[in-house]
Amino acid sequence: MVTAVAQRLASQRKEIDDTLATFALSPTQLQEVKAKMRVELERGLKKDTHPTASVKMLPTYVYRTPDGTERGKYLALDLGGTNFRVLVVKIRTGMRNSVRMYNKIYAIPLEIMQGTGEELFDHIVQCISDFLDYMGMKNTRLPLGFTFSFPCNQTGIDKGDLVSWTKGFKATDCEGYDVVDMLREAIKRRNEFDLDIVAIVNDTVGTMMTCAYEDPKCQIGLIAGTGSNVCYMEEMKNIELVEGDEGQMCVNTEWGGFGENDNIEDIRTRYDREVDGGSLNPGKQRFEKMTSGMYLGEIVRQILIDLTKRGLLFRGRITERLKTKGIFETNDRLALLQVRSILQSLGLDSTCDDSIIVKEVCGAVSRRAAQLCGAGMAAVVDKIRENRGLDHLEITVGIDKYLYAMRFSDETLRDIMARFRREMENGLGGDTNPTATVKMLPTFVRSIPDGSEKGDFIALDLGGSNFRILRVKVSHEKKQTVQMESQIYETPEDIIHGSGSRLFDHVAECLGDFMEKQKIKDKKLPVGFTFSFPCAHSKLDEAVLLTWTKRFKASGVEGMDVVKLLNKAIKKRGVNIMAVVNDTVGTMMTCGFDDQRCEVGIIIGTGTNACYMEELRHIDMVEGDEGRMCINTEWGAFGDDGTLEDIRTEFDREIDRGSLNPGKQLFEKMVSGMYMGELVRLILVKMAKEGLLFEGRITPELLTKGKFETKHVSAIEKSKEGLTKAKEILTRLGVEPSEDDCIAVQHVCAIVSFRSANLIAATLGAILTRLKDNKNSPRLRTTVGIDGSLYKMHPQYSRRLHKTVRRLVPESDVRFLLSESGSGKGAAMVTAWASRLTQYRHMTLFCFPDGDLGVKSFNMQLS
Ligand code: 0WK
Ligand code: BGC
Ligand code: BGC
């Protein structure tokens, strides 16, 4: 019986795998797609083969990308994507990036999209009229640029005959006619205002120009949206449809038509044929129907129907809703939990297995779409490279404007890893350290806990989001155990921005209060001080603050020994600071207590930083070559010398300009919790200003610094209730978000937090490869102790970080160990040693006043 069920399940699984396998394209198949696309690109360019080419390679009469001399005020229409937008754009010269835009989004009802051409253009003109009213510009005769996202045979920059409708459009009496003429006639019909239509461009061309305005290397425009298409700058001599051989012209490939001559039938599945058969334009746009947002949901639905019919899903029960075309939208392919609720909304009573299978189907379909676009893009990039007779081509593809600069390929991440590795070496080198940005500070901690630590300690934990005081008891009954009690104390802004003495008096007061409550006033317990700022140590209990970071800015402390300052403040409390540690060191020690392999400590919280155990012989600033010492890298300052300028965005620069320490901690400002929410807010403001969000609504709350917090980013990225949270948070900011807005904001949050996880994976990767090289072992096995509110609170962060680290450092087995109890325990471990060292010194001084008793190794170990 059991075997029969198991066999049935196994064969069902095999059937599902076989179905999904038809969507898995091998590298060979992708190379073939690339080669076939290349053939079609060439056929589209040549006069004699153009008529039968499936990729039409339409001339656009755009001869170059922007050069910064552009200026003026223009109207623009954007028709053919998800939304119809009317915009007014003001371009100022000189200051390269000075573009102001106001826009309004209008719906295009289905009956208009599929009505008569006249109705469609009348509707467009009505929207323009409403916009001009709204902007009070009815009487200004502005030049107009028309982004028309459909294939047009252009004979000039302002002349374009519609070749054929695509996507959801099917208005009559338009195909074969000049679109600009149709718009001019509609404006005349309305007889309310006059406009000068000076240009018609495809949306791919508009995207390339928009991005090229910021990045001159941009010579390709890609749209992966409702439809799919690409344009690029081609050499005039290769465009046989247009006179002239000099210079370049942008060609709108219309690659959506690829496959219309049956040359990709080998990879088209029966589901693709179903979707094509049921579309508005069967036989047309075959490539688009395998890659773009308008069709992916439909492909998934066809697969689900087939699997259900074969009894492999939903217990073979097909609901009316599942039979409904277009019911499964491309946006529906979200988190597993959401799959369940989406299936419920389709009346499908799904099991957990069903949801997993549905998610697999979604993954297979979207992965194939991305791969096919990648193969097509590779053909275009290769064409450009050959046009230029180059072996290697550096080029930018304009996609969604604000975010693509925040996505890094593994290649880029490896490059950042190499840059950070170089900075580590600079920091360790005696002669290069003074100019190094990554200071690689010696901590005088020589190993992780060895189980011998014991005693009763006080630990102060200052610098993270909370100031905490702990009592840590380390005892050795049967095995070493640690008991901890702690209390959190305020660090009000006026204290952390006031004078240093006030700050340390505040710490002393809190300590007094804590000792009172713990009834340890007369106990003279040794104190370990976790101080989460860059300090130059000369020994465990001597540390000079180099510079404040994060929210702290107390005066009279930078350049001073913080132990002296604190000891002065706590003098009358009868306790003694035995050791100062950075929170990364405390975290490594805390985790080292449980896992002897732990040799790296990382904080991803308000701030960010890492420490690790380095070979003493590599640390030029400390005497000796034997053994290891923990190095506090202070990686937050990575890039302070400009090494990261190529990946910093305008938003990063704005954050830095508005920070307490401009020009400093640039890496920290790109990745840590103190700045992430603000980064997202700045992007949202810019997108709203450009009408891409909230219908251009900008509220005082949205404009207020700090109003969008990092905890909001974490909440919005929660897979289940993320979008609801987005609505809540954005509503509180007064921007009345639409559902699309919420999805877009969730997307922005994901890109920003993903970038942070990727960048930290790159710098951590550099530390791991260094450890591996230090050990001269083919494979590194290690544990990374980790703490910090961003890492702990953000729903996807840890998973993304782990995944990227494992991709970037494949020759390693890394265990990530979360420090459950904070760095206090770790600080106590170090204090235990420091106390023993002090006792030992007293003893030696007492026994051997000249202090040298030849037990160098022990001394080495502790000092
Ligand atoms: C908890 C540690 C503390 C560290 C903090 C960092 O006990 O030493 O400074 O994590 O995370 P944050 O509180 O800044 O998010
Ligand atoms: C159209 C293209 C357009 C693309 C993206 C396709 O259906 O044919 O002209 O660029 O969609 O919007
Ligand atoms: C500080 C580091 C600290 C990190 C995490 C940074 O701003 O410079 O010393 O380890 O924040 O708290």
Q: Is 52 helix (H, G, I), strand (E, B) or coil?
A: helix
CB neighbourhood size of 588 (10 A): 37
pLDDT in tens, 544-562: 999 999 999 999 999 999 9
CB neighbourhood size of 464 (10 A): 21
Region 745-756: mean pLDDT is 93
pLDDT band at 743 (very low <50, low <70, confident <90, very high): confident
Taking each helix axis as running N to C, give the angle between helix 293-309 and helix 2-21, from 0 to 180 degrees, rounded to the nearest 10.
Answer: 150
Ligand 1 atom nearest to 789, measured from its CA: 15
Ligand 1 proximity of 442 Cβ (cutoff 6 Å): no
Between CA 100 and CA 688 the distance in angstroms is 12
Q: Is 767 helix (H, G, I), strand (E, B) or coil?
A: helix
Q: Provide the token pair at 211.
A: 């991005």
CB 73 within 8 A of CB 212: no
Is residue 732 scored above 60 in pLDDT? yes
Report the DSSP beta bridge partners of residue 84.
106
Ordered DSSP codes for 669-735: HHHSHHHHHHHHHHHHHHHHHTTSSGGG---TTTTSTTSS-HHHHHHHT-TTTHHHHHHHHHHHTT-
Is residue 329 scored above 80 in pLDDT? no
Ligand 2 proximity of 737 Cβ (cutoff 6 Å): no
CB 416 within 8 A of CB 760: no
Per-residue confidence (pLDDT) for residue 266, from 0 to 100: 95
Between CA 340 and CA 847 the distance in angstroms is 75
Given the DSSP bridges, would you call strands 143-148 and 196-201 parallel, antiparallel or unpaired? parallel
Tell me, in angstroms, the distance from the centre of ligand 3 to residue 797's CA: 19
Residues 6+ apart with CB under 8 A from 260: 54, 283, 284, 285, 286
pLDDT band at 719 (very low <50, low <70, confident <90, very high): confident
The residue whose CB lies within 8 Å of the most ligand 1 atoms, and thus the one to mutate among 606, 608, 611, is: 606
Of the residues 468, 681, 755, 800, only one is catalytic, namely 468
pLDDT band at 855 (very low <50, low <70, confident <90, very high): very low
Tell me, in angstroms, the distance from the centre of ligand 1 to residue 590's CA: 13
Q: What distance, in Å, lies between the first and last C-alpha atoms of the chain?
A: 69
Ordered DSSP codes for 364-382: HHHHHHHHHHHHHHHHHHH
- Tell whether pTM > 0.75: no
Between CA 93 and CA 218 the distance in angstroms is 20
DSSP state of 180: H
Residue with tokens 């509180």: 732
User: From the centroid of its chain, how far is CA 548?
Assistant: 27
Which phi and psi angles does 534 have, rounded to 5°? -70, 120
Residue 792 identity:
K
Per-residue confidence (pLDDT) for residue 856, from 0 to 100: 42
Q: Provide the token pair at 528.
A: 């370990």
Per-residue confidence (pLDDT) for residue 478, from 0 to 100: 67
> Which conformational region is residue 803 in: left (phi greater than 0), alpha (psi within -120 to 50 degrees), or beta?
alpha
Per-residue confidence (pLDDT) for residue 767, from 0 to 100: 98
Q: Mean pLDDT, the chain, as a whole number?
A: 89
Return the H-helix or E-strand segment holding 412: helix 410-428
Sign of the CA dihedral 95, 96, 97, 98? positive
Between CA 220 and CA 398 the distance in angstroms is 6
pLDDT band at 481 (very low <50, low <70, confident <90, very high): confident
Between CA 721 and CA 715 the distance in angstroms is 8
Query: Which residue spans within 788-836 are E strands per DSSP?
Result: 812-818
Per-residue confidence (pLDDT) for residue 720, from 0 to 100: 79
CA–CA–CA angle 307, 312, 314 (5° rounding)? 90
CB 424 within 8 A of CB 766: yes
Is residue 96 scored above 60 in pLDDT? no
Ligand number nearest CA of 147 is 2
CB neighbourhood size of 135 (10 A): 16
CB neighbourhood size of 103 (10 A): 20
Between CA 662 and CA 655 the distance in angstroms is 9
Tell me, in angstroms, the distance from the centre of ligand 2 to residue 204's CA: 8
Between CA 599 and CA 628 the distance in angstroms is 10
Is residue 854 scored above 70 in pLDDT? no
Between CA 681 and CA 610 the distance in angstroms is 27
Is the model more confident about 330 or about 106?
106
Between CA 25 and CA 323 the distance in angstroms is 28
Residue nearest atom 11 of ligand 2, based on CA coordinates: 227
Ligand number nearest CA of 201 is 2
Ligand 1 proximity of 673 Cβ (cutoff 6 Å): yes
Per-residue confidence (pLDDT) for residue 100, from 0 to 100: 77
The residue whose CB lies within 8 Å of the most ligand 3 atoms, and thus the one to mutate among 437, 532, 669, 674, is: 532
Residue nearest atom 7 of ligand 1, based on CA coordinates: 822
CB 485 within 8 A of CB 475: no
Region 695-702: mean pLDDT is 87
pLDDT in tens, 68-94: 888 888 999 999 876 789 999 888 765
Ligand 3 binding residues, C-beta < 6 A:
463-464, 532-534, 549-550, 582-584, 603, 605, 607-609, 634, 636, 668
pLDDT band at 696 (very low <50, low <70, confident <90, very high): confident
96 as an active site residue: the answer is no
Residue 834 identity:
A
pLDDT in tens, 661-687: 999 999 999 999 999 999 999 999 988
Per-residue confidence (pLDDT) for residue 857, from 0 to 100: 42
Given the DSSP bridges, would you call strands 780-787 and 812-818 parallel, antiparallel or unpaired? parallel
pLDDT band at 341 (very low <50, low <70, confident <90, very high): confident
Q: Is 242 helix (H, G, I), strand (E, B) or coil?
A: coil
Share of the chain above pLDDT 90, in %: 66
Tell me, in angstroms, the distance from the centre of ligand 1 to residue 439's CA: 21
pLDDT in tens, 158-181: 999 999 999 889 999 999 999 999
Residue 629 identity:
M
Ligand 1 proximity of 464 Cβ (cutoff 6 Å): yes
Q: What is the number of H-type helices and E-type strands within the chain?
A: 27, 25
CB 244 within 8 A of CB 236: yes
Ligand 2 atom nearest to 148, measured from its CA: 9
Is residue 848 scored above 80 in pLDDT? no
Ligand number nearest CA of 552 is 3
pLDDT band at 338 (very low <50, low <70, confident <90, very high): low
Tell me, in angstroms, the distance from the centre of ligand 1 to residue 650's CA: 29
Region 773-801: mean pLDDT is 95
625 as an active site residue: the answer is no
pLDDT band at 576 (very low <50, low <70, confident <90, very high): confident
Q: Provide the token pair at 458.
A: 């006080």
821 as an active site residue: the answer is no
Between CA 61 and CA 44 the distance in angstroms is 16
pLDDT in tens, 211-233: 888 777 889 999 988 899 999 99
Tell me, in angstroms, the distance from the centre of ligand 1 to residue 789's CA: 7
CB 379 within 8 A of CB 41: yes
Is residue 860 scored above 50 in pLDDT? no
Ligand 2 atom nearest to 167, measured from its CA: 7
Between CA 159 and CA 199 the distance in angstroms is 8
pLDDT in tens, 284-316: 999 999 999 899 999 999 999 999 999 988 888
The residue whose CB lies within 8 Å of the most ligand 3 atoms, and thus the one to mutate among 496, 533, 553, is: 533
- How many residues does this entry show for the chain? 863
Ligand number nearest CA of 58 is 2
Among 784, 822, 798, 802, which residue's Cα sits nearest to residue 595?
Answer: 784
Which phi and psi angles does 80 have, rounded to 5°? 125, -10
pLDDT in tens, 404-436: 688 888 888 999 999 999 999 999 999 999 999
Return the half-sphere exposure (C-beta side, CA atoms, 13 A cut-off) of residue 665: 28
Question: Cα Rg for the chain, rounded, in angstroms?
Answer: 32
Ligand number nearest CA of 533 is 3
The residue whose CB lies within 8 Å of the most ligand 2 atoms, and thus the one to mutate among 229, 284, 295, is: 229
Per-residue confidence (pLDDT) for residue 845, from 0 to 100: 58
Per-residue confidence (pLDDT) for residue 363, from 0 to 100: 87
- Which region among 329-333, 496-500, 569-573 has the lowest average model confidence (pLDDT)? 329-333
Ordered DSSP codes for 806-860: HHH-TTEEEEEEE-TT-SHHHHHHHHHHHHHHHHHHHHHHHH-TT---S-HHHHH
Query: Which residue spans within 165-247 are E strands per DSSP?
Result: 196-201, 218-224, 228-235
Per-residue confidence (pLDDT) for residue 105, from 0 to 100: 85
